[in-house]
Chains A and B, each alone.
Chain A
Amino acid sequence: MMTPVVELEAVSKHYGALKALDELSLSVGDGEVLGLLGHNGAGKSTTMKLLLGIISPTAGQLRVFGQSPTADDAQALRYQLGYLPESVSFYDLMSGHEVLLYFARLKGVGKQQCDELLHRVGLGNAAGRRVKTYSKGMRQRLGLAQALLGEPKLLLLDEPTAGLDPLATREFYQTIDELRRQGTTIILSSHVLAGIEQHIERAVILSNGKLRATGSLDELRRQAQLPLLIHVYGSWPEDSWQDLQSIATVEQITAGQISIQGRLEDKIELIRRVLEHPGISDFEICEPSLEALYSHFSSDQANREMR
């Protein structure tokens, strides 16, 4: 069996009484794309800083490429890592090209790769401009170019799409997909869950420094047993939805609208029966989103169930 790229065993990080991370165990395989999900303060950034060796754990074991990132000889490890911190504004007085060149020198990367990366992230034309004039999205792209210096084997991206407009977000995820095809292991964190689904293979849900759930999004959906919700619009005689009562809960919202709550597994059956009814003019299906999943796993109720 291959050694996992990242391995955490009951890792804790405490700041006084604050438990930023509480006995987190996690392993990430080679080439995997992992989503680290949770609210602000859930422990996502702390996890990344631990993996980078910027801070050392209060307790527990952690290894990156089989090595402790805080060991004395861990300096070499950092050539293989790329990191994009949560909000980085860079040096206002330097041009984008100068900023990238500075970081490239520290990583022992040549000038040519800087030019390539600037073009790749779409900053080719703005490379000579001062960072001061950059928009939030451009700074984020510069940050991504910086993270890709030296073709790292493990990428840690902290809230990479925060503050990006939809177009920039889509372009960003295209880059992620490309890197994924090249076999880069990627850990990316987010508190905005929309749009992340198609791009990650596995999700880890954190809240208050604890691991709440892990698995593929399908597995998590099944685990959570979140209901399927169907809104139906139209006009129909009273008591006409009796036939659904056996497999779903039907609730009258207004005179011309009802909501049907059922199990995800019964989706096809429910829709078939809804469509058989005369008098419906429209319907919409609300599948449980990642948001609903997330609030399910990080709610207090879920915590109690887990104990």
Chain B
Amino acid sequence: MGNILIVAGKEYRDGWRNRWVLAITAVFALFAFAIAYFGAAASGQVGFTSLATTIVSLASLAVFLIPLIALLLGYDTIVGEENQGTLLLLLSYPISRWQLLTGKLCGQGAILASATFIGFGAAGVAIASFTGQAQATEIWRAFGVFVGSAILLGWVFLALAYLISVMATDKGRAAGVALITWFFFVLIFDLGMLGILVMTSGQDGGDLLAYLLLLNPTDIFRLINLAGFESTRAYVGLLAVADDQLLSPLTLTFALAAWVVVPFSIAVWLFARRKH
């Protein structure tokens, strides 16, 4: 436990030192404000609209932004240390490999969590006070779900980034694979799903398609945040294949958590196996 905390503390301080925390927080807060202000432009007016609408727009944006940021934060965590020679050094210390990776996940996970919480949180408070919704607890619950699931989504892609970092032989390749991973989950996967949907004319296997969405963490995130709002049915598009009854919020949260645990466990396993 001590070792994990030492590594986590170092990674977290690194996040402040190299301005990552600051940059991500600023980006999140800025986008949240911009979306809240210009979000209603389509209906012919600008100005802060309701927090509910803002959450929906924010979720669509976060789906692109958070995975990218998490992958960029984590892709060089092992391969980068390998390049600068410190990995060899760390491995010669009385710390096991799973402790090293876990410590890094905790530290960088905390970076993402604080940036998401502060960035979106500050924007949320400001928007709510502008629109006079600060008292509506329901909205706050939805916003809490949004921030919480956004943090979880960040951890998913952090775990994926570690998997890439453990397998890569050099930093450049790791960066390339990280970008491909991002591209796959935010774009290609949904295009493929759409293709299946069109080919089967949406007739049979409706349930199966819903379960297929669980194979993409960004779709799980969207399901958690969009499906909850009746007024946003129009935005969900592809997600309409998933029935509310079929995938409860709890199931979805578990699925997203599994997306953290499984890639991370594989990364730990591969890292431990590198002795041979």
Contacts and interface: CB of A to CB of B under 8 A. Distances in A.
Q: Do A and B come from one complex?
A: yes
B276 A55 contact: yes
B92 interface: yes
Give the size category of B's interface with A.
Answer: 20 to 34
Nearest to A87: B85
A188 interface: no
9 contacts: A75-B94, A75-B96, A85-B88, A85-B89, A87-B85, A89-B84, A89-B86, A106-B6, A106-B94
Contacts of B95: 106
Contact of B85 (A75, A78, A81, A85): A85
Contacts, number: 64
A56 interface: yes
Interface stretch (B10-18, B140-148, B162-170, B184-192): B10-18
Q: What are the 4 tightest A-B residue pairs by CB atom distance, in nearest-first order?
A: A88-B85, A83-B92, A78-B94, A52-B92
B6 A54 contact: no
A134 interface: no
A56 B93 contact: no
A102 B103 CA distance: 13
A105 B94 contact: no
A88 B86 contact: yes
A76 interface: yes
B94 A91 contact: no
A106 B275 CA distance: 21
B36 to A, nearest CB: 35
A102 B89 contact: no
Interface string B9-34: 01000100110000000000000000
Interface string B70-91: 0000000000000011101111
Interface of A: 49, 52, 54-56, 70, 75-76, 78-79, 81, 83, 85-91, 93-94, 102-103, 105-108, 146
Given A90-B84, A93-B17, A102-B10, A107 B276 contact: no
B30 to A, nearest CB: 25
A78 B92 contact: yes
B4 to A, nearest CB: 11
A105 B14 CA distance: 16
A86 B91 contact: no
Nearest to B91: A54
A90 B86 contact: yes
B3 interface: yes
Contact of A146 (B17, B84, B89): B89
B93 A106 contact: yes
A264 B95 CA distance: 52
B84 A52 contact: no
A79 B89 contact: no
B85 A106 contact: no
Given A76-B94, A81-B92, A89 B85 contact: yes
A94 B89 CA distance: 16
A100 to B, nearest CB: 12
B88 A55 contact: no
A28 B88 CA distance: 23
Contact of A107 (B10, B94, B275): B94
Contacts of A81: 92
B93 A107 contact: yes
Nearest to A99: B86
A91 B10 CA distance: 11
A238 B96 CA distance: 75
A54 B96 CA distance: 10
A79 B275 contact: no
A90 B87 CA distance: 10
Nearest to B275: A56
Contact of A93 (B7, B18, B89, B91): B18
A70 B92 CA distance: 11
Contact of A88 (B6, B88, B275): B88
Nearest to B90: A106
Contacts of B91: 52, 54
Given A52-B92, A87-B85, 15 more contacts: A49-B88, A54-B91, A70-B275, A75-B96, A85-B89, A88-B85, A88-B89, A90-B85, A90-B86, A91-B86, A93-B14, A103-B89, A105-B6, A108-B94, A146-B89
Contacts of B6: 102, 105-106
Contacts of A107: 93-94
Nearest to A52: B92
Contact of A55 (B84, B93, B275): B275
B89 A86 contact: no
Contacts of B96: 75
A133 B195 CA distance: 55
Interface in B47-102: 84-86, 88-96
A55 B276 CA distance: 6
Contact of B89 (A56, A75, A83, A105): A83
Contacts of B92: 52, 54, 78, 81, 83, 85
